[in-house]
Structure 1
Amino acid sequence: MSVDPIELARLFLSATEPTDVLDAVARAACERTSFRRSVIMAVDPVRGLVRGRAGFGVDPAKVDAAGGPVGDYPVISKLTASAAPLVVPASEVADMVPDQCLRLFDVHGPIAVQLLHSDRLGLLGIVFCDHGPTSTLRPSAADLATLTELSEVAALAFQQALLLRRSVSLQELRERSRIAAALHDGVTQQMFAATLEVEELRAGAVLGERATVGLERLADRLGTALQQLRVALVEIAAGGVPDDRGTQDGDQAVATRIRNVLARTGAGGGPTPDLDVTGEGPEPDAVSADLLVRAVREGAANAGRHGHATQIAVHLRRGGSWWTVEIDDDGSGSAVGVQRVLSGHGNNSFGLPSLAKECARVGGRIWVSDAPRLHGLRLGVAVPLSAR
């Protein structure tokens, strides 16, 4: 059953999530034409990645498995200079899309391809349509015209949904900054004043041994709490603002995000950080990227808080299929003890067991060993390029 154009435009423009827009485009591309199948992939030119986002007439699991580096899709560069759809003959399909997609969707006939492009946000996605794996039917001019019409309206709706998400994220960031400022001007100042009063008592009063020990312990706890609060306030105020395609820190690469985490760690009185980056692999997807950054944040915090480390050394390896990050410290932590924490035993820690579960969920791995150079602990995390 075909969809009324006005109703379709209203549906697209009322969508508040990019996924809703793409699902509607994929469905309408088949309902309003003779196409049997459609697949939509989101394109991230900054990170150089393509990933499956929506489909109609195909297995959703195959859509999720599709994607890869932009360079594997020559059809994108060929379409960039044209607003019209491109019909790729069966004999040329293998030259335009990667073998992975051909196998996933069992493509043997011609396909119609159309970009989703926004004047404001640039390249957003790409739509593939065909008449099924066994068909050799060539798309008609009417079907291509409809696909163009759908793509234009969908690109506007996609842009609207992305900008709405960005607006909400910026509002959340402003609210986090307000809360952080209020805590800094209130709680932090009160804790700092309490620290000074304890120091005055220690310096000026004649106290017994038990009182002296108690004040020293209180001063240490106040100092540690004040340091942790300051680091937390920086995190709250900085908070990640999702970019137009769902990543946590906008267009920033993983290495840049890790540098930011380490800079905040050093500025907050934590261990002195050092970062070494090797390899030239493409950026991982948002889920894998967040796990790498989270591993550094967790490792740095634990090294200072529990291991009393003064130095941490982070090594980020960028591969073509896997990315790995290792955090070494010079602290006093025990590898055996941390391994128990990772398994969910030994104490009430939440951070590391949660990180381990997330790594396992995406097919990655996490390990703990002795740090050979700094003679403390090493926390390592490896994740696949795509967690989907």
Structure 2
Amino acid sequence: MQQAVACGTGREVRPAGCPVCGDPLQDRPSEDDRRGQRRLAAIARAASSVADTASLRVTLDVVAREVVQAEHIAAVQILRVEGGTMRVVGKAGFTDAEDFADRLEECRRLGARMMFVEAFRARRRIMIPHRKAAVLADPTWAPLHAIMGAPRWDCFVAVPLVVRGRALGVLNAYYEPGEVPGCADLEFLDAMADQAAMAVDSAELLARSRHDAQLAERARLARELHDSVVQQVFSMRMHAKALRSHVTSGRMSSPERVQSVADELLGLAQNALADLRSLVSQLHPVELVERGLAGAVRDHAASVQSLSGLHIDVETAEKLEMLPVELQEDLYRIVQEALHNVVKHARATRVRIRVRTTGDPGSDRLLVEVADDGIGLDGRAPRAGAIGLVSMQTRARGWGGRMEIRDTAPGCRVEVMIPVALPDGAL
């Protein structure tokens, strides 16, 4: 309701306003409105972090900070359960304590009642007023008294991280003295716990995909070893036995026959050595060490071009050797896999490979692009479980980057974008 102010001067009567800016008070957002806006903004920023950040620890630290900044909360912990043990994977408001997990385990052995464990097991939120005083008065919590006593807090809330009915961890919120969370406050914590749960779940799925890709790669190498090197070594053994029988004392054998067996043995040894070198190159490409990323990509493109008939153009930035060796190898493998897919599936005649930087100096991003003029995806989504695609995605995400595959009409383009931190003018 507006309040009229009569000045007695005959001038227009206006609603009472803010003494600072003069705006009508009813038009200014209330504290509850402002808190609601902060909550919505915090949820949006947390969701963006879950979508964009490769590091689980960085993501969950962001979620914890957003909770603290949006609410009257002194501190937040996000714990993840793995193999029956809990560890802190995100926090805000607490002093660093590298041995927190050890102290927590000691409290458990002393018999401390851990309400967040009960929240995790029951998969439901738990709120306990005046929890700090109880914890600091309990000798079973003595190993953590210094850490838990540092922030100013009173009420405690534990919210489980649940995905598809499975509890993955728990979010602990420590409210400032005098703050008793209401329904809206608890709903906000539920929403932020959902963001944290999605981040943990995504990290688990990525780790599982990486493990599956590693197992598949090992199986492939084992098959290639068996089908090539092992078979050739077996033949070499048989030829060596035959050669020995030809030169055994007392046996008559023509020099021509001995030479023929020896030549076959030499040929088998050369083939086995070539196959072994090829497998070793797949594990760690020698050309990458000798010529750097740009030279290795050009050599591989030339090799694929000569074998497949594709016309391949390569454009690379200068000084790629300044990138970490591990990053260079991952980028090389991505180009290898993308070219392999072009040869196998695209029915293309031309391919363009580009390795360059985009963005401003000091905040550069490295772009790797492999584009062809083939049949493209024809409206189909890339096969999500394909080992090659999983491997490429894993390598990109391992450096905080992303990979996209899209139709270009004609053809298809694989694009990998990775943030890099290099001195100005390095690339």
TM-score in same-fold range (> 0.5): no
What TM-score does the superposition give when structure 2 sets the normalisation length? 0.41
Larger Rg: 2
The two structures have a TM-score, normalised by structure 1, of: 0.45
